[in-house]
Amino acid sequence: MSELHPEIHERRILGTELLWAVGVGILIAATLSTIVFTALTRDINPPSNVERIDPKTLHLSGEFTEQNLGTTVDADGAVTARVIATQFTFVPRCIAVPEGRRITMRFAAPDVIHGLLITGTNVNSMVVPGFVSQVHTEFTRTGHLLMPCHEYCGLGHSEMWATVQVVPQNEFKPDQDRRVACAKR
């Protein structure tokens, strides 16, 4: 009967709850540590670029004019893909990128909020009018990857998608304007 003494019983319940709380605390700490560890060692972070751009003049001047869209290779070898997300297409609809090389993808929208992901990769970002969405990534395998809009943007939303063509490094050759277009399939 001593086991059922109220004080002992309550103490045992309290002990169990504390044990559970410690266990949950360890799990939360482990989860947060995993995120920090991944960010520091594998360079996997949520895209966090904050950069303003005027959506009304997007197509008239500056970085996102038509001749600047698509993939370019800078003089220092940095690869940048610039894409406009608009109702209901991505411009350009095919983006050529090299395999195994760090690239920068920059997106802007002139009309409404869009979103994008690239299948089989961790690339996933919103594209908000007035801001440039920037994602750094490295594609680890060649092939054609689907890049759909994943934020409902209007009646044609389901038709809004593009292709990312990941090519081997030896086939990724810029032309004299330092631009790379998708190979014809």
Partner 1 sequence: MQAAAAVMEVTMSLNEPSAAASRVEVADDVDEESLAEVMRVVPLGAGVLAGSAVALLVLGYLAIYLLVFLPRGTVG
The binding site for partner 1 (CB under 8 A) comprises: 1, 3-4, 9, 12-13, 16, 20, 23, 27, 31, 34, 38-39, 42-48, 102, 120-124, 135-140
Nearer to partner 1, 120 or 174 (CB): 120
Residue type for 144, please?
A: H
| Least Å from the CB of residue 164 to partner 1 | 13
Nearer to partner 1, 47 or 174 (CB): 47
CB of 100 closer than 8 Å to CB of 140: yes
| Least Å from the CB of residue 180 to partner 1 | 20
| Least Å from the CB of residue 3 to partner 1 | 5
- Half-sphere exposure for 7 (CA within 13 Å, toward CB): 1
Query: Radius of gyration (Cα) for the chain, nearest Å?
Result: 24
CB of 148 closer than 8 Å to CB of 160: yes
Residue 73 forms beta bridges with which residues?
A: 79
Nearer to partner 1, 3 or 175 (CB): 3
| Least Å from the CB of residue 84 to partner 1 | 21
Residue from 162, 165, 23 nearest 93 by CA: 162
